[in-house]
Structure 1
Amino acid sequence: MRAVVVSGTGGPEVLGVTDLPAPEPGPGEVLIDVVATAVNRADTLQRRGFYPPPPGASDIIGLECSGRVAGLGPGVDAWKVGDEVCALLAGGGYAERVVVPSGQVMPLPGGVSLVEAAALPEVAATVWSNVFMTAHLRDGERFLVHGGAGGIGTMAIQLATARGAEVYATAGSPDKLALCRELGAVAAIDYREEDFVAVLTEAGGADVVLDNMGAKYLTRNVDALATGGRLVVIGMQGGTKGELDISTLLRKRGSVTATSLRARPVTEKTAICCGVVENVWPRVADGSVKPVIHETMPIEDVARAHQLMEDGAHTGKLVLTF
């Protein structure tokens, strides 16, 4: 099979496509012929040597894919060869074939092509697990997402809006701010020129904040919370160490949770994927949530895709096809 390999830690230039032995499904696993995969920020971190795969996962980069079932391991009866599917992966997506636990394989949502579906598993699982399973965002609450024009941000805005939340999003350019508003945000905040704390405080505070910045925004995120607000940290783009004013958190009766998805046990990922199929896919099928894809390109352009991701000029997802 063709697969992307990393010649050494470094910039996008270390990525290349070569032939590797294809995997075989083990007990409880599904073998997928990959049609498309998508680029995530975690992929760029793995390429640079900062985010190794969890024990037992493929060393090949790639946290999601879409394709067709090509084989079934012992004990799998939920799928049949030829089924069109998408999947949440711990690794291996940048290859023509990948094996994945059966519970992390999902049917395509209605109205979405195989290529488009590659842009959905990671962002849908991230948003559903963090915003709804962990933070319990409810109808009528105020929700703030940072990086609203990115892959996770575009999914979070749409899904929170569809479920009745009042959505606020930060972004850093006129085009990205316009996209946030188009997807449903009641306010798109230019983080270069505006203070999101002031905007949210005037509105009454954020009931839920989804944050990819980490240390840089920790104090300000807590300041932006409403009474009983929940901050969920899913990234460290702004550093790993920050100061937390416990008195502010106590006064607001707030909570701070940090989560990751990739290293969770299969049982937890299975529960998340079931929640995505039950709660997110119907929204995709009725058009209230859609995959936002900046560009689709062949796998041979993987280095360019990583460069686009790191430049930060894209919106939504970058999809790679085989």
Structure 2
Amino acid sequence: MKALQGVDGHVAWVQAQRPVCDAGQVRIRVAAAGLNRADVLQKAGHYPPPPGASPYMGLECAGVIEEIGAGAGADWRVGDRVCALLASGAMAEEVVVDARHVLPVPEGLSLHEAAAIPEVYATAWLNIFQLGALKAGEKVLVHAGASGVGSAAIQLCKAFGSPVWVSVGSQDRLDYCQALGAAGGVVRNQNLDALEALGPFDVVLDPVGASYGALNLKVLARDGRWVIIGLMGGRQVEMDLAQVLGKRLQITGSTLRNRDDAFKGELLRELRQQVWPLFSEGRLSPQLVDTYPVEFAEAAYQALEGNQVSGKLVMVIDPTLV
């Protein structure tokens, strides 16, 4: 089979060994795979897969089940249309994955759309609703609100009754977020401090890190939760810990990729129960904005690296599967 591999800062569609479908796993013939910021970092050599994971690119995919390993459960049949969360290797003609990390394609969605769901919705649910302990009616601030995770977070907050504001890179992206359901926000190179007047916020979802540290402390409400999921703005920050004490703030660092299989399985079980029905009801959308044939993978990565994409990009692996 073939798979997408990062090579010296570029990507190449290379020959790869076909993986074995072990007990508890299913084999998926891949139709498409979603692109994520982690893929950009891996391509650049800054975010290698966890030990023992596939060396190839991709954290999520959708396709058709081809094989079911012993003990993989009664949920799946050969031919089922599914999407899956992986630690790596999703951008390949075939993947094998823990059966607990597989979800049915929501009714009414194509395989291309489904490939844009697992990673970003799992990330948003984990960090806002589980770690951030969001309650209905509480206010949320999502930095990089037009990203894939941001797009999922806005829709989830709206669906579960919490108003959400964003910081973004342009007015067009702010308009996009408001069309998804954001109550408002700011353009970061204009007036980030305006967020203070929009708050205080109970939960801040932050993929930026250091450069927004002081701002987050100012805009968080008493008993607020600051969940850090990325370091696009650096890793070193000087903080006024008196604000952390005085407001009784919780600061949580979070990653999903290196969580163990049981944790991911439980997370996806909760997604299937709580979130998946909302796609069929039309209350959530994958926000797929463009697809790229895998032969044009380099162009897809360049588009994501340009930080101008609002929503999700998907790599088409097998155009015969839709």
Does TM, normalized by the shorter one, top 0.5? yes
Counterpart residue number, 1:155: 152
* Residue identity matched to 2:159: A
SS in structure 2 opposite 1:194?
helix
The yes-or-no answer on 1:213 pairing with 2:205 is no
SS in structure 1 opposite 2:190?
coil
Q: Is the 8 A contact 1:293 1:315 kept in 2?
A: no
Distance 1:95 1:190, change over 3 A: same
Counterpart residue number, 1:51: 47
Residues in 1 aligned to 2:90 and 2:197: alpha-carbon distance in whole angstroms: 44
RMSD over aligned Cα atoms: 1.1
Equivalenced residues, count: 316
Q: Select which of 167, 176, 181 maps to 2:178.
A: 181
Residues in 2 aligned to 1:18 and 1:258: alpha-carbon distance in whole angstroms: 35
SS in structure 2 opposite 1:152?
helix
Residues in 1 aligned to 2:52 and 2:76: alpha-carbon distance in whole angstroms: 23
Q: Is the 8 A contact 1:144 1:206 kept in 2?
A: yes
Residues in 1 aligned to 2:25 and 2:173: alpha-carbon distance in whole angstroms: 39
Residues in 1 aligned to 2:271 and 2:33: alpha-carbon distance in whole angstroms: 18
SS in structure 1 opposite 2:23?
coil
C-alpha deviation, 1:56, in angstroms:
1.2
The yes-or-no answer on 1:135 pairing with 2:120 is no
Q: Select which of 30, 44, 50 maps to 1:34.
A: 30
The yes-or-no answer on 1:287 pairing with 2:308 is no
Residues in 1 aligned to 2:7 and 2:166: alpha-carbon distance in whole angstroms: 38
The yes-or-no answer on 1:23 pairing with 2:19 is yes
* Residue identity matched to 1:76: A
Q: Is the 8 A contact 1:138 1:165 kept in 2?
A: yes
The yes-or-no answer on 1:268 pairing with 2:263 is yes
Q: Deviations over 1:25-54 (max 9, x none)?
A: 112111110000011111111111111111
Counterpart residue number, 2:7: 7
Q: Deviations over 1:240-268 (max 9, x none)?
A: 11122110011111110000000000010
C-alpha deviation, 1:232, in angstroms:
0.2
Question: Normalising by structure 2, what TM-score?
Answer: 0.96
* Residue identity matched to 2:3: A
* Residue identity matched to 1:73: G
Amino-acid identity (%): 43
Which residues of structure 2 form unaligned runs of 5+? 318-322
SS in structure 1 opposite 2:235?
coil
The yes-or-no answer on 1:311 pairing with 2:299 is no
Counterpart residue number, 1:224: 219
Q: Select which of 161, 165, 168 maps to 1:168.
A: 165
Residues in 1 aligned to 2:215 and 2:167: alpha-carbon distance in whole angstroms: 13
Q: Is the 8 A contact 1:128 1:275 kept in 2?
A: no
